Amino acid sequence: MELERRDFRAMMFYDFMRKISMEQSHDNLAEAFQDQAPSKRTVERWYLDFRRERTSLQDEARSGRPSTAATPETIAAAETLIREDSRINYEQFAETLKIGKSAIILFYMIILVSEGLRPDGSLIISLKCN
């Protein structure tokens, strides 16, 4: 059975409420779940959060570029943009797709490879010059 992080957090919270030490909680999880168990540092972090009266076991929102930038929809939209205007520049591309500029090279590579073309250094140079 594959457990999720939230499941382990619930077990850690249970141990915390029973006044079981961080070390003992980690040892219990490691004994029961071997390689799946959270690290000692993770147990320590969660215990500290519980002491600060954290109420949620869910992951907190993170800042920065979302991990879903290269979805099939955005790749299809990127393909359409390139086909409509092969001279589109960095800023226009990023603004239209609402993605970070660093993701643009990844999109070009995905599109080239999907069409059986081999990306080379000139692609990256031309992207940086636009």
Range of the domain at 100: 72-129
For residue 15 the two structure tokens come to: 């141990």
The verdict on 43 and 80 lying in the same domain is no
Residue 116 forms part of a structural domain: yes
In a domain, residue 13? The reply is: yes
**Is the residue at 87 inside a domain?**
yes
Domain assignment present for 65:
no
Q: Looking at residue 112, what is its pLDDT?
A: 65
For the chain, the domain total comes to 2
SS (H, E, C) 3-72: CCHHHHHHHHHHHHHCCCCHHHHHHHHHHHHHHHCCCHHHHHHHHHHHHCCCCCCCCCCCCCCCCCCCCH
* Structure confidence at residue 101 (pLDDT): 67
CATH of the domain at 11: 1.10.10.1450
**The pLDDT value given to residue 73:** 81
pLDDT in tens, the chain (130 residues): 788 989 999 999 999 999 999 999 999 999 999 989 999 999 999 999 999 998 888 877 766 655 556 677 877 887 787 778 777 777 787 788 787 766 777 766 676 666 665 555 444 445 555 4
Minimal CA–CA distance to 99: which of 123, 80, 74, 118?
A: 74
In a domain, 85, yes or no: yes
- The whole-number pLDDT of residue 125 equals 45
Residues 125, 82 share a domain: yes
In a domain, residue 43? The reply is yes
Note whether residue 81 is domain-resident: yes
